[in-house]
Structure 1
Amino acid sequence: MGLEKVLSISGKPGLYELTAQTRGGFVAKSITEGNKISVSVRHNVSLLSEIAVYTYTEEVPLGTIFQKMYEKEDGKTAIDHKASKKELETYFAEVLPDYDVDRVYQSDIKKIIQWYNVLVSNGFTDFSKGEEKGAESSAEKGKDEEE
């Protein structure tokens, strides 16, 4: 499973894996607890593969940042997302030195570190966005727009 199947759902804690599509939305499984939920199209849902972080020169995909964190930590979890603001910013600057400090907020850094820790502690290590899978998700998006 790549990041194109990992979801963040507003109003629901944690991360979810997309398991099936339904007529009125989709079914997602909690990565931490394993329970399935039905999510309607009215929920605000973000695919982790579609999220990027601002730098002074470009937008860096979240998968790239997760991969840098994974390499920095040798496959272990990162610092606690509840650490002090200064610790979080220092850590994030080590991972992504040219991140835009005016556009990337402390809450964004906390969420990225929290997501990384959840994924790694649940055995997720594939932070790439595969071309084969990317084409598949593009086809699904086109299908959704037609309906």
Structure 2
Amino acid sequence: MNVDKILAIAGKPGLFELKLQTRSGFLAESILDGKKITVGLRNNVSLLTEISIYTYNEDKPLVEIMRAIAIKENEGPAISIKEDNAKLIAYFKEIVPDYDQDRVYVSDIKKVLNWYNLLQAKGMVSKDEPTIANAEEIKEQVVEEVTQGETETSETKTKKPTKKTKKEE
């Protein structure tokens, strides 16, 4: 499941895929209908990789919850968000048994299930480990590239003569 560039935009239904960044915001494409929209910097935008659900122990990332739903449903759709609240709560309790019932509302559960069903319909969910761009891996790659670049430049670099100042003369 690769949700590195999937966005939730406040006030807009569904999810969006980040396409490119502009000076005044960015361009996103709706996963729901494929329409492209521009989003300003003032809009409240969240990456799915940064969203988590409250539990009694620690917050659980949304990506892990979606993976748990994919495992439970064998990568099929979750229950409909139009079910009654008691069914939705029972279903979510099967997925996340220790979720904080005081801070996670039925509307939150509906949103998670709706987002899961949307991503599932587009073939973007799986039972595999989530492939979130790991900052440490990216950092290691950059350090490796920089180190290789320094080695190459130090081998090919010739020392330039320095200018003499008036005091040295």
TM-score, normalised by the number of residues in structure 2: 0.76
Q: 1:69 Cα shift?
A: 0.1
Partners of 2:40 and 2:136 in 1: CA distance: 23
Could you give the per-residue CA deviations for residues 96-124 of structure 1, whole angstroms, max 9, x where no partner exists?
00101011111100000000000001110
User: What is residue 81 of structure 1 aligned with on the other side?
Assistant: 81
**Alignment partner of 1:33: what SS?**
coil
**Contact 1:3–1:49, Cα closer than 8 Å, also in 2:** yes
Q: 1:78 Cα shift?
A: 0.2
Unaligned runs of 5+ in 2: 140-169
Amino acid at match of 1:121: A
User: What is residue 91 of structure 2 aligned with on the other side?
Assistant: 91
**Contact 1:88–1:109, Cα closer than 8 Å, also in 2:** yes
Answer yes or no: is 1:66 the counterpart of 2:66.
Answer: yes
Partners of 1:70 and 1:49 in 2: CA distance: 16
Partners of 1:133 and 1:30 in 2: CA distance: 30
Give the percent of matched residue pairs that are identical in Structure 1 and Structure 2.
Answer: 48
Amino acid at match of 1:71: I
Output aligned runs, 1:1-147, within 5 Å: 2-125=2-125, 128=130, 129-131=132-134, 135=138
Give the ranges of 4+ consecutive aligned residues of structure 1 lying more than 4 Å apart after TM superposition: 132-136
The alignment covers a number of residue pairs equal to 136
Unaligned runs of 5+ in 1: 137-147
**Contact 2:85–2:106, Cα closer than 8 Å, also in 1:** yes
- Aligned pair in 2 of structure 1 residues 133, 69: CA closer, same or farther (>3 Å)? farther
User: What is residue 153 of structure 2 aligned with on the other side?
Assistant: none
**Contact 1:4–1:134, Cα closer than 8 Å, also in 2:** no
Partners of 2:104 and 2:136 in 1: CA distance: 28
TM-score, normalised by the number of residues in structure 1: 0.87
Partners of 1:121 and 1:133 in 2: CA distance: 31
Partners of 1:21 and 1:32 in 2: CA distance: 21
- Aligned pair in 2 of structure 1 residues 134, 123: CA closer, same or farther (>3 Å)? farther
- Aligned pair in 2 of structure 1 residues 134, 27: CA closer, same or farther (>3 Å)? farther
**Contact 1:92–1:109, Cα closer than 8 Å, also in 2:** yes
User: Which structure has the greater CA radius of gyration?
Assistant: 2
